[in-house]
Structure 1
């Protein structure tokens, strides 16, 4: 129905009469303050004909071309034309002399230009159904992103009329008095595109003929009478900062990870190997796109043998220095690296290489930028209106209103969005402790107890339980991981028993204690032996991840390497020993990028890692050790298959404080592995250890190997355990424990 059609016959618009609209209502429409413009604009049957009103403030003329039911002698091509008359401040009106609303298009002429043919946004039914609106109103729409935001949409003409493709915009702003769309398709003036209010405070408009890449914002007339420009909370794409508009995106990605997804759905994570490489995309290597990272990162991680990569937030955030933790676009992949299908490609390639992906996710607080979620409809909407609950003093950000069902829905649907639409294998939930406690980072008098007089944030607890139960139900096989630093009971307990329902919890206590121990000179470590053994007292109270995260290598804390005492040889040896100790310890493992090769400088988001260090054999040696530790770990179900069972661990030597030695057995389904670590700077020769059985045991890992830059001390050819009781074990062997090293023994097959 384009320009190739004949223009049609001009019909007089004098009779019948136009549907009358009060002058004050027309003025409201012109000012953009009418809550339901579709009741005025678009086609409306009246007086046996159809009145059409159009809002085109800058037009010189507006004409309607419409299809007749049957061609006439005057209009043999079946099309007729009616010129609209200017009625009031950009509102044009006219009457089509037909009984029912026909298929029609608009022709708009602006000063000095040819007429432009357009479809009329106000002739379409709402793109949201009653069930969707009901679920949104109740806060129970699990696939919120499929109905809110900007979605490319096609109206089927069913052969009677041409199909129409455009974009359906929908936004939740319950207290707004009016909402308009300003965009690149209307010259960044929202006057021509006011939205209609539907049930539940949702505003909607279908705009024909626009699609992927369109940049737009909402103009919202708040309850306070102030117009604000806002990015779309459910936009799937955004402009590259510092620009702040949202962009329409319709994924065209064809996934190739069916095998991975099928295996994931049938598996669990607590009884699977999990060694995680945490990273910040922008500073691993500088100026890489998602596609370039897929080419470089995937083979790098596959070579090193990590089972998972964890990405610091890739949701849209305006300030790079926030590392992604002050989010403005919860549903938008960070546009600094490309479009959302670029991120899909990266994840797909990781899956095809056998590597899972965990995304950092920040539901505890959000960014203060005026153009984003703050006072979205002119009042606190996403943020808790109570400043004692709605403002995070420590982080200078707003806290979500966890008591509001629609806000909880926005968040848990967001979690499902990343898990379902991007095939993420888990979410690491940031700042859980700050959500759980009303008095988090607050002094007396700055918080109010809950209805039971306690300091627990009951609404946030309910949200987290709802989040985890829903995620695990809809997406089996994923891992929800809590960054939680307190003694809150049951973080990984089932929600049916009152737990929070997470799959894992970061073990911040282990991280703090072990780093404190290792930062001491070896001659002093014996006095602090308990710092390394204490974690085994509570290791099965939750399902733990042992995290050596980005938080430990910033803000003056120095890199992991620099925390270690002594010269460079000792620093690298201690790191190798630490990783061997850590991988054999109950729980899953995580290290931050650069830690695998002994990054020297403290991490900074503004520059890439010190890759030049790999020109030095001793740093390449550390990376080789990490590769081999990952390989031996994955080959050793004794370490991970029964990780949640206390019977999978048994001390062999836990109280040799003077020798700085820690040794234990890990076991599962008849397989056993003995790990022994010597954190002293001298070797122990002829060191007697109990063994689970007599016979030949091979040394399958020695972090002091010369290939890693070590001194080459060890048990070449393995050891022979002799039958005979030793410390409660049925056999024993006299082994060599190298200096600052971990050795693993497994029964020779």
Structure 2
């Protein structure tokens, strides 16, 4: 490690031996894998090519292969054998761990349903193949089966795989099933036709798709995965998903998918649990193999076949579906043996004790190396609440190779501020610290709220700001002081979060216009209603509602970030802060941001420190089209004046700062 990398932080020097030892272990594992596969990680990541049901190259036979070490016998059940175990559909065990059989070409056809009967000492069970590329649920019985997927015409991609990213990372997080306004499950095709154009219009350049992998329970938000290689059939066919990704690429939008390698659903028929009769084939045995909060199974990353399975999963989604990268879910749960539950992570000691799963760290390192081998322009993001040092640092400087990590504490901080502190008492210094605090060697993505804040039991920012009045006072004719307060703060919170973001910004579907409802999937508790598992797009298109104004502002805000290359400067420079006046002013590139969070005081001829020069007002939060009061004259030109009693060359700007308003100035000279 010639570059100091993570050791730019002197607080880590005391742990240098542990950090370097862990890093060497990850490098050693990668090198061992490469050595055994002609130097290529892809040679190891072939689980999906080796296992499952495939047509042989001559198309004269089907080959089915499965990994099930503890099992003794295996049969394929399907309509042709009346779902019974018969010799013609037996899959013999060809060595200590693998079953394999060949079948005539007419034994299986496109869209046939099938499953396995797996028999082990003392028991048996129906199972879905571990590498199944499609699983479908019977609407009557709710039983899942694997489905043969061999369409006569393979999908023909229209758009090339994107190369070097251009512009800032502006991520639109979306769930395909709940993306429609109708109270039902949406599809990949409907998302392409109706939602993708909205994302394009809103200006975001990265689509982060949730719930892509097959999951038995819709209400799990896609995080209890059963078939890791199968796109969820409740949203349509694999070709429909490919068409969506292709359309996004055609319109200059990259597609990331939430990848769930942190745990697996505990279902035994649909999922991987007890697949071969043991609880430890893919997972840890005993209590370590169960996640006590998520009620799911925990992978054993120390097992070579588990690593092969998960690494192959990454390769599959990149090669087969042209995804541009992954948001790795639940990294904290992977890295810590206690899953990080009930821990504050306030000391570096928390990261370097015996409760860290070194096998998980090794896996994450290798996963990032593989993804970037497959596509040098791919993006990987760590969803980690612990702040484990080095996750998003380069592998060449002691890190684990994620391109970004989410600044998850920012959203929690905003909720805490809105819930617990009157905005007239918001601490400006603490706000600045929370928004800008990140490790120097790690690129972070900020957000004011994501899907986590919208789930039942929590509330979105707009719901917290408005309270019950969100249902009655969002029309212009009924707006009062509470409405204008909420609308003003919603815009300012999102703008200051974006303006201080280190390397990217994220928004959850619908929050750009202050969506009035939480997210609640159909269940027994709500009588299987879809009322809250949808997005009310019509609200943002009604010019008489403040939702429309919030959307118009967000669109201009995102456009500003794109046109100015906002994140290229790396870090904003604080120029002025005043706790009593609730004012923050900072510069980034050639932009100057001034926020007046004061609830009632508007300031005339307010003096703030700034770089010397001429400035033009290019955006403010107060126009009536953004739900404001038109107190600021647009396109004003400002000239800095020399700051007295100093020879530093610093200047001052004299500004009119209305209450609860932000200004964005562009330095012209």
TM over 0.5: yes
**Which structure would you say has the larger RCO, counting Cα contacts within 8 Å and 6 or more residues apart?**
2
Structure 2 equivalent of residue 650 of structure 1: 573
Cα distance between partner residues in 1 of 2:187 and 2:177 = 9
Other structure's SS at 1:283 match: coil
Cα distance between partner residues in 2 of 1:317 and 1:506 = 24
2:317 is the counterpart of 1:418: yes
Give 1:520 deviation, angstroms. Answer: 5.5
Structure 1 equivalent of residue 513 of structure 2: 597
Give 1:482 deviation, angstroms. Answer: 0.7
Structure 1 equivalent of residue 4 of structure 2: none
Give 1:747 deviation, angstroms. Answer: 2.6
Cα distance between partner residues in 1 of 2:78 and 2:379 = 39
2:66 is the counterpart of 1:171: yes
CA 1:200–1:413: 2 relative to 1, 3 Å:
farther
Report matched runs for 1:67-216 at 5 Å: 141-155=44-58, 164-191=59-86, 192-199=88-95, 201-207=97-103, 208-209=105-106, 210-216=108-114
Other structure's SS at 1:688 match: strand
Cα distance between partner residues in 2 of 1:297 and 1:741 = 31
More divergent stretch after superposition (699-708 vs 385-394): 385-394
Give 1:381 deviation, angstroms. Answer: 4.1
Cα distance between partner residues in 1 of 2:357 and 2:424 = 42
Cα distance between partner residues in 2 of 1:523 and 1:427 = 36
Report matched runs for 1:704-723 at 5 Å: 704-723=622-641
2:477 is the counterpart of 1:575: no
Other structure's SS at 1:331 match: strand
2:581 is the counterpart of 1:659: yes
Is the Cα–Cα contact under 8 Å of residues 492 and 661 in structure 2 kept in the other structure? yes
How many residues align structurally?
Answer: 584
Is the Cα–Cα contact under 8 Å of residues 492 and 499 in structure 1 kept in the other structure? yes
Give 1:362 deviation, angstroms. Answer: 1.0
The equivalent position to 1:309 in structure 2, one of 203, 207, 230, is 207
The equivalent position to 1:559 in structure 2, one of 420, 445, 460, is 460
Cα distance between partner residues in 2 of 1:392 and 1:513 = 26
Cα distance between partner residues in 1 of 2:643 and 2:96 = 73
Give 1:556 deviation, angstroms. Answer: 2.2
Other structure's SS at 2:650 match: strand
1:335-372 CA-partner distances (Å, limit 9, x unpaired): 01111111011111111111111111111111111212
TM-score, structure 1 length as denominator? Answer: 0.74
1:133-156 CA-partner distances (Å, limit 9, x unpaired): x97xx996223222212223342x
CA 1:304–1:268: 2 relative to 1, 3 Å:
closer
Is the Cα–Cα contact under 8 Å of residues 406 and 445 in structure 2 kept in the other structure? yes
Is the Cα–Cα contact under 8 Å of residues 513 and 547 in structure 2 kept in the other structure? yes
Structure 2 equivalent of residue 438 of structure 1: 337
Cα distance between partner residues in 1 of 2:100 and 2:47 = 14
Structure 2 equivalent of residue 284 of structure 1: 179
CA 1:523–1:333: 2 relative to 1, 3 Å:
closer
Is the Cα–Cα contact under 8 Å of residues 298 and 353 in structure 1 kept in the other structure? no
Structure 2 equivalent of residue 740 of structure 1: 660
Structure 2 equivalent of residue 641 of structure 1: 568
2:155 is the counterpart of 1:253: yes
1:311-336 CA-partner distances (Å, limit 9, x unpaired): 21211101111111101010000001
1:149-190 CA-partner distances (Å, limit 9, x unpaired): 2223342xxxxxxxx544322211122212111123322223
Other structure's SS at 1:303 match: helix
Cα distance between partner residues in 1 of 2:201 and 2:622 = 21
Structure 2 equivalent of residue 623 of structure 1: 551
Structure 2 equivalent of residue 77 of structure 1: none
The equivalent position to 1:613 in structure 2, one of 539, 551, 570, is 539
More divergent stretch after superposition (190-199 vs 394-403): 190-199
Give 1:737 deviation, angstroms. Answer: 2.4
Is the Cα–Cα contact under 8 Å of residues 424 and 599 in structure 2 kept in the other structure? no
More divergent stretch after superposition (194-203 vs 371-380): 194-203
Is the Cα–Cα contact under 8 Å of residues 603 and 609 in structure 1 kept in the other structure? no
Structure 2 equivalent of residue 121 of structure 1: none
Give 1:268 deviation, angstroms. Answer: 5.2
Structure 1 equivalent of residue 9 of structure 2: none
CA 1:681–1:316: 2 relative to 1, 3 Å:
same
Is the Cα–Cα contact under 8 Å of residues 677 and 741 in structure 1 kept in the other structure? yes
In structure 1, list runs of 5 or more residues that go unmatched. 1-130, 156-163
Cα distance between partner residues in 2 of 1:357 and 1:280 = 13
In structure 2, list runs of 5 or more residues that go unmatched. 1-32, 344-348, 467-480, 522-529
1:637-677 CA-partner distances (Å, limit 9, x unpaired): 2x12243xxxx421112x3111222221112xxxx111222
2:590 is the counterpart of 1:690: no
- Whichever structure has more helix as a proportion of its residues is 2
Other structure's SS at 1:574 match: helix
TM-score, structure 2 length as denominator? Answer: 0.82
Other structure's SS at 1:375 match: coil
Report matched runs for 1:489-508 at 5 Å: 489-508=389-408
CA 1:425–1:631: 2 relative to 1, 3 Å:
same
Cα distance between partner residues in 2 of 1:729 and 1:200 = 77
Cα distance between partner residues in 2 of 1:432 and 1:500 = 12
Structure 2 equivalent of residue 108 of structure 1: none
CA 1:453–1:618: 2 relative to 1, 3 Å:
closer
Give 1:497 deviation, angstroms. Answer: 3.5
